[in-house]
C-alpha cells in the first residue's frame, strides 16, 4: 500500500507536468473504479464512456488543485465523476423543484427476491427510472448522501429529493415484484 | 426515509459487483484527443509520441538513410563509377609489377648507335635480353603472382577502359547541310574595291 501511494505520487507529479504517459497510467489505474461510478448514473455503457472521458479531461485540467493532505485521489476523482454525471443528467432534463412529499409509508421490498437478481438486472431496473429519480436514488442509496447534500448538489429542495427517493422505491418495488412473478 | 433501508444496502452492494465494459482504450483515445486540443503543451504528445530531442534524432536518421539510398541508386544507375573503381587498380598493379626495365618499344626504335642496319628489322638490333623480352612478354607478365588476385569478372575482360566515343546527334533537317545556311553574296560587287 505504501509502495502504491509512492507510485501514485510520482504519477500525479507527471500529471501535473502534463505528461501524457503519466495521465494514461493514472487513467488506467482508476478505470475500473471510475467506470463503476459512472455506470451507476448513466443510461447505458456509451453514456458511461462519455461521462468518463469528460470527467478525466476535467481531472487532468484541474489536477494541480488536488491536495493529497485533504483526501485520497479516489475520493477526489469520484467527486468529479459524480459531478460530471449529474451535469449530463441536467443537460437532458430540468430538475423540477416544486415536488413535495407528505409522510408516506415505506414500500416493502422482499430482500430475498432482490437477492435473486444479479447486478446487471438491478442496474437495468435503476436505469429505467426517470433521470432525476435515478440520480437521487443512487446518491442516497449507493453513495450515502443525505437529502441536504443532494438538494445542494442538484439545486433542489430537500422535499423534492425525498419525493424522488420515494418514487424510486415505489418503482423498484413494482419492478422487483414483477420480475419475481415471471 | 432518513436512513437507507436494508434492500437499498443490498442494491449498493450488488452494484459494486457490476461487470464493467471493456472500453478503456477507446475512452482513452477520446481523452487524449481532447487533451491534445485543450492542453497541447505537454512534454510528450501521446503514448507513443516524440519529444523534441527524439524529433531531432528521427530527422537526422531520416536524412542519413535518404542519402544512403540515393547514393546506392545513383551507383546502380551509373555503372561507370563501379567500373572505373574496378579497372583502375588492376591497371595500376600491372604497370607496377612489371620488371623495372626500359620500355621495349622505345629500345626497338632507338638502338644503341641510333642506326638500323640495312636488311635488319629494328627488333634484331636490340640486345639479346631485350629480344628475349620481346619474344616472351606475356609469359613474364603472367608469371607475376599478384596478378592472379585481380578479379576476373566479365567487365574486366571485355570492356576496354574509356573507349566509348560519344556520337553527336545530327541536327537539322535531313538533306540540308550547314553550307546551305551560309550567306554568300549573289554577286561579287559588294566585295569589289571602290576604286575599280
Tell me, yes or no, whether A84 and A157 share the same domain.
Answer: no
Of A35, A119, A140, the CB nearest to B15: A119
Handedness of CA A127, A129, A133, A139 (dihedral sign): negative
The number of domains in chain A is 2
Chain B residues close to A114, C-beta within 8 Å: 7, 10-11
DSSP string, B20-56: PP--HHHHHHHHHHHHHHHS--SSSSSTT---HHHHH
In a domain, A102, yes or no: no
* Residue that finishes a domain, picked among A31, A62, A92: A92
- Chain A, chain B: beta-carbon pairs less than 8 Å apart: 113
Residue of B64, B60, B36, B34 lying closest to B49 (CA atoms): B36
Residue B103 has pLDDT above 70, yes or no: no
**Measuring CA to CA, how many Å separate A150 from each of B4, B39, B136?**
14, 33, 116
Contact yes or no for B1 and A106 at CB 8 A: yes
Tell me, yes or no, whether A64 and A135 share the same domain.
Answer: no
Tell me, yes or no, whether A73 and A115 share the same domain.
Answer: no
Measure the CA–CA gap between B174 and B181, rounded to whole angstroms.
13
Q: What is the pLDDT of residue B90?
A: 53
Give the pLDDT band (50/70/90) at residue A113. Answer: confident
Residue B136 has pLDDT above 70, yes or no: no
Tell me, yes or no, whether A62 and A118 share the same domain.
Answer: no
Reading the block at residue A179, the C-alpha cell is 420480475
Residue A96 has pLDDT above 60, yes or no: yes
Question: What mean pLDDT comes out for the span B28-35?
Answer: 94
**What residues make up the domain containing A11?**
2-92
* Residue that finishes a domain, picked among A40, A65, A92: A92
Mean pLDDT of chain A: 87
Chain B residues close to A40, C-beta within 8 Å: 15, 18
In a domain, A88, yes or no: yes
Residue with the bigger pLDDT between B24 and B7: it is B24
Q: What is the pLDDT of residue B46?
A: 44
What is the CATH classification number for the domain harbouring A80? 1.10.1740.10
Residue A161 has pLDDT above 60, yes or no: yes
In a domain, A25, yes or no: yes
Contact yes or no for B23 and A35 at CB 8 A: yes
Tell me, yes or no, whether A87 and A122 share the same domain.
Answer: no
Reading the block at residue A109, the C-alpha cell is 421490498
Of A20, A31, A114, the CB nearest to B49: A20
Give the pLDDT band (50/70/90) at residue B39. Answer: confident
Tell me, yes or no, whether A63 and A123 share the same domain.
Answer: no
Q: What is the pLDDT of residue B42?
A: 55
Tell me, yes or no, whether A55 and A133 share the same domain.
Answer: no
Measure the CA–CA gap between A153 and B157, rounded to whole angstroms.
95
Tell me, yes or no, whether A134 and A75 share the same domain.
Answer: no
What is the CATH classification number for the domain harbouring A119? 1.10.10.10
Which residues in B have their CB inside 8 Å of a CB on A?
1-2, 4-12, 14-21, 23-24, 26-28, 30-32, 34-35, 38-39, 41-47, 49
Q: What is the pLDDT of residue B48?
A: 44
Mean pLDDT of chain B: 66
Residue with the bigger pLDDT between A107 and A83: it is A83
Of B4, B10, B38, the CB nearest to A111: B10
In a domain, A167, yes or no: yes
In a domain, A39, yes or no: yes
Q: What is the pLDDT of residue A52?
A: 95
Q: What is the pLDDT of residue B28?
A: 95
Contact yes or no for B31 and A27 at CB 8 A: yes
Residue with the bigger pLDDT between A22 and B100: it is A22
Chain A residues close to B13, C-beta within 8 Å: none
Measure the CA–CA gap between B151 and B154, rounded to whole angstroms.
9
Residue of A112, A100, A161 lying closest to B2 (CA atoms): A161
Reading the block at residue B55, the C-alpha cell is 524529433
Tell me, yes or no, whether A6 and A87 share the same domain.
Answer: yes
Tell me, yes or no, whether A22 and A73 share the same domain.
Answer: yes
Residue B56 has pLDDT above 60, yes or no: yes
Q: What is the pLDDT of residue B53?
A: 58
Tell me, yes or no, whether A75 and A132 share the same domain.
Answer: no
Q: What is the pLDDT of residue A107?
A: 64
Residue with the bigger pLDDT between A54 and B54: it is A54
Reading the block at residue B165, the C-alpha cell is 566515343
B9 to chain A, closest Cα gap in Å: 7
Question: What mean pLDDT comes out for the span B81-104?
Answer: 53
What is the per-residue pLDDT across A29-62, written as a single tens digit (0 to 9) for each? 999 999 999 999 998 999 999 999 999 999 999 9
* Cα dihedral B150→B152→B158→B163 (10° resolution): -30
Residue with the bigger pLDDT between B165 and A46: it is A46
Q: What is the pLDDT of residue B79?
A: 66
Measure the CA–CA gap between B37 and A125, rounded to whole angstroms.
38
In a domain, A17, yes or no: yes
Reading the block at residue B135, the C-alpha cell is 619474344
Residue with the bigger pLDDT between B47 and A122: it is A122
In a domain, A165, yes or no: yes
Give the pLDDT band (50/70/90) at residue B119. Answer: low
In a domain, A159, yes or no: yes
B51 to chain A, closest Cα gap in Å: 11
Contact yes or no for A36 and B49 at CB 8 A: no
Tell me, yes or no, whether A88 and A6 share the same domain.
Answer: yes
Amino acid at each position: 500500500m505504501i509502495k502504491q501511494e509512492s507510485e501514485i505520487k510520482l504519477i500525479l507529479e507527471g500529471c501535473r507536468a502534463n505528461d501524457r504517459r503519466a495521465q494514461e497510467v493514472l487513467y488506467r489505474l482508476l478505470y475500473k473504479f471510475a467506470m463503476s461510478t459512472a455506470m451507476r448514473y448513466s443510461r447505458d455503457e456509451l453514456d458511461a464512456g462519455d461521462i468518463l472521458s469528460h470527467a478525466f479531461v476535467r481531472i487532468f485540467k484541474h489536477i494541480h488543485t488536488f491536495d493529497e493532505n485533504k483526501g485520497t485521489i479516489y475520493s477526489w476523482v469520484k467527486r468529479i465523476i459524480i459531478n460530471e454525471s449529474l451535469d449530463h443528467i441536467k443537460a437532458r432534463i430540468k430538475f423540477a423543484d416544486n415536488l413535495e412529499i407528505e409522510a408516506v409509508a415505506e414500500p416493502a421490498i422482499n430482500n430475498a427476491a432482490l437477492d435473486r437478481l444479479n447486478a446487471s438486472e438491478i442496474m437495468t431496473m435503476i436505469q429505467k427510472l426517470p433521470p432525476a429519480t435515478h440520480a437521487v436514488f443512487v446518491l442516497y442509496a449507493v453513495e450515502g448522501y443525505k437529502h441536504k447534500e443532494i438538494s445542494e448538489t442538484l439545486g433542489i429542495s430537500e422535499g423534492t429529493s425525498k419525493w424522488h427517493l420515494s418514487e424510486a422505491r415505489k418503482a423498484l418495488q413494482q419492478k422487483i415484484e414483477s420480475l419475481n412473478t415471471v | 426515509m432518513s436512513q437507507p433501508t436494508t434492500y437499498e444496502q443490498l442494491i449498493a452492494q450488488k452494484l459494486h459487483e457490476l461487470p464493467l465494459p471493456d472500453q478503456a482504450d477507446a475512452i482513452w483515445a477520446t481523452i487524449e484527443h481532447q487533451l491534445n486540443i485543450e492542453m497541447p503543451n505537454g512534454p510528450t504528445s501521446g503514448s507513443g509520441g516524440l519529444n523534441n530531442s527524439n524529433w531531432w534524432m528521427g530527422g537526422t536518421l531520416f536524412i542519413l538513410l535518404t542519402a544512403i539510398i540515393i547514393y546506392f541508386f545513383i551507383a546502380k544507375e551509373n555503372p561507370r563509377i563501379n567500373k572505373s573503381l574496378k579497372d583502375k587498380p588492376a591497371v595500376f598493379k600491372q604497370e607496377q609489377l612489371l620488371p623495372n626495365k626500359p620500355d621495349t618499344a622505345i629500345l626497338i626504335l632507338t638502338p644503341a648507335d641510333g642506326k638500323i642496319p640495312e636488311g635488319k628489322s629494328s627488333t634484331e638490333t636490340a640486345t639479346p635480353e631485350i629480344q628475349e623480352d620481346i619474344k616472351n612478354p606475356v609469359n613474364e607478365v603472367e608469371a607475376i603472382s599478384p596478378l592472379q588476385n585481380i578479379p576476373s569478372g566479365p567487365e574486366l575482360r571485355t570492356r576496354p577502359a574509356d573507349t566509348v566515343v560519344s556520337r553527336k546527334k545530327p541536327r537539322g533537317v535531313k538533306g540540308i547541310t550547314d553550307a546551305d545556311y551560309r550567306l554568300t553574296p549573289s554577286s561579287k560587287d559588294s566585295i569589289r574595291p571602290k576604286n575599280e
